[in-house]
Structure 1
């Protein structure tokens, strides 16, 4: 077996990959897997086209989301995250979410897999599991969001099988160990225009951060503003028609001992209009322990000096639930008691 080598050079743009062979089952899957593997090593981000997700569904999702965010604050606050409680669902206003302790210039709604009160995980009082909160005054919002989440979940399984192949593992590697019942989280964010930086300093819709799990699949509107951190500079990841932006998270970085990079990114909306963003997080099962994969020739290196938070994902021990709950309290400090302390 040939050794897998880390490519340590900076990148100047996010690569674009046609995954139609993965979706159709026809064509060279290994070629696509190789392209994805190269992107994960060099960039941690890649665009995908040929994904097969219905364009009409995406358009309905965007239209309904704009309708929701156009409402006054009191109406949107009918479904606050405080009401979602331990399930970690609902709406938060601009400034209600923190990144590195600083308020983001965005508002949003949090969703997850729709689970009833009779579900075993809900009955067990498991954090981040339960029913979603949907605006009752916008017809088809609920149905559209759940249909989109189902499409993203299926796409997540397809992409993780390809990522497994890119690591010279069986296509079923992640499904068998981590994602047969994935933790799926979906956000709809609205970034209001930020045309006047305070005190001459840049302000961020969301500041520099990495994602927590294994894979994020992002739908952008046409406003732009996403930036990805290369070794020596920030690289724009503008919207490309018909595409999604994918990036790997901390747990895949940990599993691959840093071979595949959980790359920092941020958003600044200077478009002059509202920016909609639809990140879908395809993550390990809440209760599974995340362990490094034995990869030939790959040695874990200390990544603290390179990471935005000066901490290493390779030091973490425990389940994915342990990891993500540790992050929750920093993103929404006011929910710490509801989400964390009541589960102790």
Structure 2
């Protein structure tokens, strides 16, 4: 059957009353997953399937709207908050357009928030209940993210609140709703739903519908599928967790195949990231192992000295180059690093 990603029951961290032995088992399972490939499924997460199904249904209604209507919420109107809709092929990975359209969202914040990538969302008013459902989903997954980070802290023999104290008491939460329209395969060119990449932050929590297409590059195994599993999320660690752990835990490349199934595919990734102003540094006393020569993009997660926000801005400026000058204009928004 080949290599399969592990399935981890996180309920002992979600429920207040749980056996210590159950928590220790989860900690070990997460450590093993992060040491091997950095991907795992989560079950027992406590997020109601009704909420997920409602988000799925409302998202499909939005993507079924005509292009002119969807363009009323285009990212150009989101300014430096980096929120809104982008059309099919409007996002680049490794300089190539992804075969998906999407809606960029995040924590609902004030219009005059001083930081880039912070501010109000552009909620489509044509879909009744969409705003409330999105905000409820962001809140529930954010709470789940805190619980997973507790387990990750313990997996590194740290205090359970290590990440919360240093980076995620006020995390940067970014949410995407992606629609991979079904395509006709073109043998003349290599096209992907999303090209090969790693995620930038600490933790990604993804819900995917029943169509599938996600692929993970596992060391010594090559590309393997990460198919949908009912009532589960799939998690992966990002570049900042690789940086914090000195390379002990590696952010794993992944991609999404071109959707040729005849049906549109939805996915809901939430990125649970360090505070924008945080200076992310390796755990004190940990040995650093830089594998930049082996990484998909040949870059090092240890080479920058700025805040996480500055790292993120440079990365996403490559994803949406046409919006770079608008969304990355921080001249009037000085960023003060948070002490580690």
TM-score of the pair, normalised by structure 2: 0.93
Give the secondary structure class of the aligned counterpart of 1:127: coil
**TM-aligned CA deviation for residue 307 of structure 1:** 1.0
Matched, 1:330 2:321: no
**TM-aligned CA deviation for residue 342 of structure 1:** 4.6
User: What per-residue deviation string (whole Å, max 9, x for no partner) do you get for residues 281-330 of structure 1?
Assistant: 000000010000135xx532231222111111122222110110011210
Question: Where do 5+ consecutive residues of structure 1 fail to align?
Answer: 1-10
Given that 1:186 and 1:281 are in contact with CA atoms closer than 8 Å, whether structure 2 keeps it comes out as yes
Given that 1:225 and 1:270 are in contact with CA atoms closer than 8 Å, whether structure 2 keeps it comes out as no
**TM-aligned CA deviation for residue 202 of structure 1:** 3.0
Residue of structure 2 in register with 1:3 after alignment: none
What is the rounded CA distance, in whole Å, between the counterparts of 2:205 and 2:330 in structure 1?
31
What is the rounded CA distance, in whole Å, between the counterparts of 2:261 and 2:248 in structure 1?
35
Structure 2 counterparts to residues 302-321 of structure 1, below 5 A: 302-321=290-309
Question: Where do 5+ consecutive residues of structure 2 fail to align?
Answer: 333-340
Residue of structure 2 in register with 1:46 after alignment: 40
Given that 1:93 and 1:106 are in contact with CA atoms closer than 8 Å, whether structure 2 keeps it comes out as yes
What is the rounded CA distance, in whole Å, between the counterparts of 1:292 and 1:302 in structure 2?
12
Residue of structure 2 in register with 1:147 after alignment: 136
Given that 2:247 and 2:290 are in contact with CA atoms closer than 8 Å, whether structure 1 keeps it comes out as no
**TM-aligned CA deviation for residue 14 of structure 1:** 1.1
What is the rounded CA distance, in whole Å, between the counterparts of 1:49 and 1:302 in structure 2?
32
TM-score of the pair, normalised by structure 1: 0.92
**TM-aligned CA deviation for residue 29 of structure 1:** 1.0
Matched, 1:65 2:79: no
How many residue pairs get aligned? The number is 326
Provide the aligned C-alpha RMSD in A. 1.3
Residue of structure 1 in register with 2:15 after alignment: 24
Given that 2:277 and 2:309 are in contact with CA atoms closer than 8 Å, whether structure 1 keeps it comes out as yes
**TM-aligned CA deviation for residue 198 of structure 1:** 4.3
What is the rounded CA distance, in whole Å, between the counterparts of 2:28 and 2:178 in structure 1?
32
> What is the aligned counterpart of 1:103 among 83, 97, 100?
97
- The range that moved more, 334-343 or 171-180, is 334-343
What is the rounded CA distance, in whole Å, between the counterparts of 1:271 and 1:149 in structure 2?
29
**TM-aligned CA deviation for residue 197 of structure 1:** 2.5
